[in-house]
Structure 1
Amino acid sequence: MTSSSTGAQQGPSLPWRVTSSLVMGISSTISKIFLFGLNRTEVIGLQDFLKVLDDRADPAKRQRGLITVSNHISVLDDPVLWGVLPLKYLYNPQNLRFGLGAHDICFTNKAFASFFTYGQVLPTHRLKHSEQGGLFQPTFSEAIRLLSTHPSFRTHSPLSLSNYPPTYSTNGTDVVPCPSVHQRNSNAWVHVFPEGAVHQHADVDCRYFKWGVSRLILESEPAPDVVPIFIDGFQQVMPEDRVFPRFLPRIGKRIKVAFGQKLDGESAFGDLRRRWRKLVESRGGPGNEPGVIRDKRLRDGEEAREIRVEVAKRVRDEVMRLRSQLGYKEANPSYGFAETWAKDPKSSRKRYRSEVDGSLINQD
């Protein structure tokens, strides 16, 4: 699949924009009907989040990217979650999220790849399923470029537009359009589920957050805003232990979607970003390929790991703080550490009941 762009500074073609608007709008409208017509859905903090989106409506006036993060409790979380937005937002792709979708699920054939690409989903390989997975795969580079200010909007930029290619490959054989090449996607919105797996816990507690979100926060320029989101009830719609008909979502459930306050990325993570920049400079600087890390110390060095761990912890703390404000049972602090989950004897399985917290986990 190739991009419909005809130049680095131009937006997608009219057919691309129309198709993307229909794919995202219709999917979200169906989600809205499901949420409010077939279930009982409560939304908290929506007006504040809509103000965030309204302030970002004109791509040329955006000052920074936006990252939303939430717990991950069912296979339907995205796109159904976005059905809580008013209709006028749902058919405007330039102010909607880019998501990360499993390559082995969402991009298994040309039809699926087209649908999810128009739906602003970036193909992501998971280490449990592919050797192409991990923290430094090309899709993370693309997400970082999306969150950053497009070079054409910068007065003094060390990057040239040639560093923003029209396409990229996730595995050496596929061809994926680069949405970051378009000005209209400058300082874009990217949503992530940092738990990296469906985690259905009885008290809606969270696992540790993986480091992909750390890369997005540390390497995007300028520092992106971050909005935590907490969701509950989707695990009742698609419980992992459901029986026949397994493919059908359950209805009549209580669903809750809560948006937290926007965090200024520099205020919340500025100390860690400065520490990261210092480390990068000590290794010869960032280079001229945005979002690409080749230096081994920056990939696997002890200090780089420490910085990423702390960023992920702070992001998780914000989601858990929102959970606490909603009156949920006190969280187990040990669940926030990767070491806790590494001890689970079933962690290599795709679907299992965890011996750490009794939750149902889906890594498939």
Structure 2
Amino acid sequence: MSRRMEWAAKSDHLGGIPRKVVVAAVGAFAKTVSCLLNTTSVHNADTLLRLLRSRPPRVPLITVSNHMSTLDDPSMWGFKGFPIFDANLARWVLAAEDICFKNSLYSYIFRLGKCIPITRGGGIYQENMNEALEHLNNGEWLHAFPEGKVYQEDAPIGRLKWGTASLIVRASRTPIVLPIVHHGFHEVMPEKYIFGRRPLVPLWNKKIDIIVGDPIEFDLPAMRDKAISQSRIESFPTTGWPSTSGLDEAAQRCLYSTISDQIRAAMEKLRCLGKSFLKR
């Protein structure tokens, strides 16, 4: 996959003005959806805001969340008190190429909005994953939906894709990983509304809950050693992955699976906590 309009994603493209315009417009849309059309409650928002504004210099941040609608991003950032109009603080996000980059206009707008095109099914070492890694190595914020697709059923968090785990391992500094789980966006933008299609505009008078967790702790040196040992006694299919961080493909598979399971467990804990909020 080629990097589509990478030049438009540069912060100095036309003096940064187009990015600021798009971020402001997207921010206004997110505020409208989350604060004006619907009611949004955020639990533990201070943790997210603190990590955005005052984490250690050049330490990257990865936020991960469930994926309930095509409006999750940017609408989940439209809650009261979030700096949605700050282009410098805005997240980078992994976005489906077949949806967000289907033509030149979309590609340009989504690039200005700090979206990175990802080919679903293209594997964790596809070209634009390196772009995501570059942003992490610069200490920036990346958001990912590790489930890899929209799930509108209120069901336990399933097996996660390994792309996020690979970025955690490959980053020059271990990122802070913050889990987030939300509920309600599936009612704001249902996949099957009229004639099996999404509504033309977001629906309103819905209740949205966003639950921010605490950073997930990863002991990567110990996890690497365990993955190497495990890979020697178990059989794994190989597809030609490059060696990275001193790990062959079998060890990478063990490590990425372990990290993904830890993230999934943290997200599922938040999902269960969110259900208790909804019952109140």
Which TM-score band applies after superposition, normalised by the shorter structure?
0.7 to 0.9
Root mean square deviation, CA, Å: 2.8
Unaligned 5+ residue runs, structure 2? 231-240
Displaced runs of 4+ in structure 1, greater than 4 A? 273-279
CA offsets, 1:75-124, max 9 Å, x none? 1111111112636x223222221001111121122211110111000011
Contact 1:218 1:272 in 2 (8 A): no
Distance verdict in 2 for CA 1:62–1:112, change over 3 Å:
same
* The structure with more radius of gyration: 1
1:217 matched to 2:206: no
| 30-39 vs 13-22, greater mean Cα deviation | 13-22
CA offsets, 1:141-192, max 9 Å, x none? 11122112xxxxxxxxxxxxxxxxxxxxxxxxxxxxxxxxxxxxx1111100
User: Could you tell me which residue of structure 2 aligns to residue 251 of structure 1?
Assistant: 204
User: Could you tell me which residue of structure 1 aligns to residue 124 of structure 2?
Assistant: 135
Match of 1:228 among 163, 179, 184: 179
Distance verdict in 2 for CA 1:278–1:63, change over 3 Å:
farther
Contact 2:8 2:111 in 1 (8 A): no
Contact 1:230 1:323 in 2 (8 A): yes
Question: What SS does the corresponding residue of 2:143 show, helix, strand or coil?
Answer: strand
1:194 matched to 2:169: no
Structure 1 CA distance for aligned equivalents of residues 116 and 34 of structure 2: 25
Question: What SS does the corresponding residue of 2:204 show, helix, strand or coil?
Answer: coil
Contact 1:64 1:221 in 2 (8 A): no
Q: Aligned partner of 1:138: which letter?
A: E
Alignment of 1:325-364 (within 5 A): 325-328=273-276
Equivalenced residues, count: 260
User: Could you tell me which residue of structure 1 aligns to residue 235 of structure 2?
Assistant: none
Match of 2:193 among 242, 267, 281: 242
Structure 2 CA distance for aligned equivalents of residues 275 and 76 of structure 1: 39
Percent of paired sites with the same residue: 30
Structure 2 CA distance for aligned equivalents of residues 304 and 214 of structure 1: 10
Contact 1:69 1:193 in 2 (8 A): yes
User: Could you tell me which residue of structure 1 aligns to residue 237 of structure 2?
Assistant: none
Unaligned 5+ residue runs, structure 1? 6-10, 128-132, 149-185, 280-292, 330-364
Question: What SS does the corresponding residue of 1:52 show, helix, strand or coil?
Answer: helix
Q: Aligned partner of 2:7: which letter?
A: S
Contact 1:39 1:255 in 2 (8 A): yes
| 219-228 vs 27-36, greater mean Cα deviation | 27-36
Contact 1:16 1:118 in 2 (8 A): no
Structure 1 CA distance for aligned equivalents of residues 242 and 13 of structure 2: 37
1:107 matched to 2:123: no
User: Could you tell me which residue of structure 2 aligns to residue 146 of structure 1?
Assistant: 135
Distance verdict in 2 for CA 1:14–1:212, change over 3 Å:
closer
Structure 2 CA distance for aligned equivalents of residues 136 and 236 of structure 1: 34
User: Could you tell me which residue of structure 2 aligns to residue 355 of structure 1?
Assistant: none
Structure 2 CA distance for aligned equivalents of residues 84 and 117 of structure 1: 23
Contact 1:39 1:254 in 2 (8 A): yes
User: Could you tell me which residue of structure 1 aligns to residue 267 of structure 2?
Assistant: 319
Structure 2 CA distance for aligned equivalents of residues 273 and 21 of structure 1: 41
Distance verdict in 2 for CA 1:138–1:45, change over 3 Å:
same
Structure 2 CA distance for aligned equivalents of residues 4 and 193 of structure 1: 23
- Taking structure 1 as the reference length, what is the TM-score of the superposition? 0.65
Question: What is the Cα deviation at residue 235 of structure 1?
Answer: 0.8
Match of 1:67 among 62, 67, 74: 62
Question: What SS does the corresponding residue of 1:194 show, helix, strand or coil?
Answer: coil
Contact 1:4 1:16 in 2 (8 A): no
Q: Aligned partner of 2:189: which letter?
A: M
Contact 2:58 2:139 in 1 (8 A): yes
User: Could you tell me which residue of structure 1 aligns to residue 236 of structure 2?
Assistant: none
Q: Aligned partner of 2:90: which letter?
A: L
Structure 1 CA distance for aligned equivalents of residues 81 and 108 of structure 2: 25
Alignment of 1:75-86 (within 5 A): 75-84=70-79, 86=81
Q: Aligned partner of 2:120: which letter?
A: R
CA offsets, 1:183-238, max 9 Å, x none? xxx1111100011011111x342221110111011111111001100100011112
1:25 matched to 2:17: no
